[in-house]
Structure 1
Amino acid sequence: MGADEVVDSPRDFVARHIRRYVESGGRETEVARGLEMLLLTTRGRRSGKRRRTALVYGQDDGRYVLVASDGGAPRHPSWYLNLVADGQVEVQVGPETFLARARPATAAEKPRLWHLMTSLWPDYDSYQAKAAREIPLVVVEPLPER
């Protein structure tokens, strides 16, 4: 595998969704309940490899909002740990691909953004209830084109 190749999620259902998303040129993005997903590529904090996953997103004033829930798992998802280590990410939303800066939402931002995301996917509240951790929100801001 070359240094620039992307490794897709090891979860089979996520990898299938990514494959469909990429092969359709970003036209097949729906996951469930009419929600669309974006593709997020981070740099592995230990491996240095580019790693891609598909995530439900919200939009907030030109920014994208992600929930690092992993279904309420006891640990943060790897993609979240990767972007905390290196916030420069690649994003694909439909056919558009761009570089962005990703960061955890601040304590001041979180209540409003949590409400936004639970209005899209109410299950986030049940994920938080079962998680033994505070589920982080991530704000993704596209970088200006060069």
Structure 2
Amino acid sequence: MTDGFPDAETINAFNNAIADEFRANGGKVGGQFADADLLLLTTTGAKSGQQRVSPLAYFNVDGKLIIIGSFAGAPNNPAWVHNLRAKPAAHVEVGTEAYDVTARELPPAERDELFAKVAAAAPGFADYQSKTSRVIPLFELQRN
């Protein structure tokens, strides 16, 4: 752990376990994420070029599929944010459905408006924002 946050190896092991459970149970997981709307986001590593899978909470806001780069309020963005900024083409699994998407990072005004709606539905994200000086990015995943 660094600065109270787990290292990349710990995060990858955690994410892989959730992804395995998600895929084995038709998009459902137990534990702390039992009631959350989760998707699996597969990005291409900006440096490595390798496929990276990240289980993420998602929200449908105003007809848009939105993911949040909160990283639990860590001082840095999660790796998938860097990957999407470098290459916005990605793949998602939602429930038992899988499809390709193009990620669009929301510009400041749109981000602020949608973040308020996300925080109203899931106050934990407002808590994460209050823990960090960075602006937590939001991305819309547009189906290809």
Verify same fold: TM over 0.5: yes
Q: Number of residues paired by the alignment?
A: 134
Q: Would you say the 8 A contact 1:58–1:116 is kept in 2?
A: no
What is residue 119 of structure 1 aligned with on the other side? Answer: 120
Deviates more, 1:87-96 or 1:60-69: 60-69
Q: Give ranges in structure 2 of 5+ residues lacking alignment.
A: 1-8
1:115 is displaced (CA, Å) by: 1.9
Question: What code does the residue aligned with 1:59 have?
Answer: N
1:82 is displaced (CA, Å) by: 0.1
| C-alpha distance in 2 between matches for 1:50 and 1:131 | 28
Question: What code does the residue aligned with 2:112 have?
Answer: P
Is 2:34 the counterpart of 1:41? no
- Name the one with the larger strand percent: 1
Change (3 A) 1:61 1:29: farther
Q: Would you say the 8 A contact 1:62–1:141 is kept in 2?
A: no
SS at match of 1:57: strand
| C-alpha distance in 2 between matches for 1:58 and 1:29 | 17
Question: What code does the residue aligned with 1:93 have?
Answer: V
Question: What code does the residue aligned with 1:134 have?
Answer: V
User: Identity across aligned pairs (percent)?
Assistant: 31
What is residue 75 of structure 1 aligned with on the other side? Answer: 76
Q: Deviations over 1:22-81 (max 9, x none)?
A: 12232x146537221000000000000010010000013443101101011111110010
What is residue 101 of structure 1 aligned with on the other side? Answer: 102
Change (3 A) 1:33 1:19: closer
SS at match of 2:37: strand
Q: Would you say the 8 A contact 1:105–1:138 is kept in 2?
A: yes
> Runs of 4+ in structure 1 displaced over 6 angstroms?
none
Q: Give ranges in structure 1 of 5+ residues lacking alignment.
A: 1-8
Question: What code does the residue aligned with 2:118 have?
Answer: M
1:136 is displaced (CA, Å) by: 0.7
Deviates more, 1:108-117 or 1:49-58: 108-117
- Name the one with the larger helix percent: 2
SS at match of 1:108: helix
Q: CA RMSD in A?
A: 1.8
What is residue 5 of structure 1 aligned with on the other side? Answer: none
What is residue 52 of structure 2 aligned with on the other side? Answer: 51
